Structure formats: structure tokens, C-alpha cells
A and B are shown apart, each in its own frame.
Chain A
């Protein structure tokens, strides 16, 4: 396996170096990937619920048109072990389904649904303006 992997790694390194040189030569910015855009959106998403306690990491982002993800990590002060929690919110035709690890399913309703809707709305407004420079109402580029 080692013999097979080494050339591949070398090739990848060569591509990486060439890419860096080319980017430097052309003076262009590195192209942004979809994942990086989602990361930037999540920077906004994580702020919507207030300050994040020290030692905790939080992500909230739109994965695709019908999926939202909440992810939280923290260190348990007693066990000193990392604890994670990921929740997926699925947008269905007439309900929002909350899917937790387990898996465990809950139809969202009441105050929780209202707050979730508002959070996604704030996320939408801010990502469109601050990341994509687009008018949230029309989707068109802002001047």
C-alpha cells in the first residue's frame, strides 16, 4: 500500500504547489468552495443564538434547500470529554421535522417552530447581504 500511496501523495503535493504558484503568478484570489461558503454562513448562524460559552463550539447552517443543521461541541467539565450534538431540521411540505441522533424524530410546533423560523429568516437576511451581496427580497446583486 505504501508504494501505491506515495506517488499519489507526491502528485497531490505537486498539484498543490503548482496551484499556489499559478495563483501567485496570476495574482488571483483562491477560488472559494461550496464548503467554505457554508462555513462563512455558519459564522453568521452561530451568532444568532447569543454569545457562545467559552470552550463551546456551535454551528448553524443551511445544508441544502430543505435541510438545516445545528451542531454543538463542548467539553464536559466532569469527564473532560468532548460532547457533541448534531440536529438536522428537514423542511417537508407541511411540517418541519427535527431529527436528532438516535435517531429521534419530532415534528416542530409552537414556540420552538416560531423561533426556528425567525432564526432561519435572520440567517437568510444576513447571509444574502453580508456574504453574497444580494438583496434578500429579490435575490439580485446589490450595488
Chain B
């Protein structure tokens, strides 16, 4: 799929004006309700209709390689995954902010 990527173009050609913002609004409303839901959360069974159950590939890379940190190679723990995802999210967020501020 990576080879099929084409250069980004004007977003107005991609999405309707309100469509993405609707998703964001929903995200906000879900965020509020999820705080309440966390109180009673259980280890729910895997969703049969989950999007990510279609194997993209199996993630087997040792934590130390993926994060560029000197740590002993070991199977990923749940905290490792969260740390890694949070780190990626922060770097994307930083890149966005730098892009916006660089416009002057």
C-alpha cells in the first residue's frame, strides 16, 4: 500500500467541510463518556468486528529497536505498547506544531 501513496493535495478536495470535524466532535463526546466507562471496565472479549483483526502483519519488533532506546530486548508489555504509542503521538503532535509555527 505504501507505494500507492500520492502527494498530499488540497484538503477541500478530500473531505467535505464538516465531515472530519464531526468525527472530532464525536471523539470529544466519546472521551467524556469513556471517563465514566473506565470505572466499570472489564477485560472485555475481543470484538468480532474489529478493524484491526485483519492482519496487516504481526508486530514482532523488539521494543529496544523500535524505540531507539537502549533497553534489554524482551517481549513487549502492555506498558511498553502504551509508552511507544504515546511517544509516536507526541512526535506527530510536535511535528504538526512545528509545521504550523514555521508558517510564521
Contact = CB atoms under 8 A, between A and B. Distances in A.
Asked if chains A and B come from one complex, the reply is: yes
Interface of A: 31-44, 47-50, 59, 62-72, 86-88, 90-101, 103, 105-122, 124, 126-128, 130-132, 134, 136-137, 139
A97 B38 contact: yes
A109 B98 CA distance: 34
**6 tightest Cβ-Cβ pairs between the two chains A and B:** A65-B89, A39-B11, A40-B8, A115-B52, A132-B95, A114-B59
Given A41-B92, A139-B94, A130 B41 contact: no
Interface residues of B, number: 59
A119 B52 contact: yes
Contact of B24 (A37, A63, A134): A63
B4 to A, nearest CB: 6
Nearest to A134: B95
In terms of DSSP, what is the predominant structure of the interface of chain A?
mixed
Contacts of A41: 92
A70 B53 CA distance: 14
Contacts of A101: 26, 30
Interface of B: 1-2, 4-5, 7-8, 11, 14-15, 20-21, 23-24, 26-27, 30-31, 33-34, 37-38, 41, 43-47, 50-59, 66, 68, 78-79, 81-82, 84-86, 88-96, 98-100, 103
A73 B73 CA distance: 41
B82 A64 contact: no
A110 to B, nearest CB: 6
B7 to A, nearest CB: 8
B89 to A, nearest CB: 4
A37 B11 CA distance: 8
Nearest to A130: B5
Contacts of B38: 97, 105
Given A70-B51, A106-B47, A114-B58, A91 B11 contact: no
A121 B33 CA distance: 27
Contacts of A108: 52
Nearest to A50: B1
12 contacts: A67-B31, A93-B82, A96-B81, A97-B41, A112-B52, A114-B58, A117-B85, A130-B5, A132-B95, A132-B98, A134-B95, A139-B95
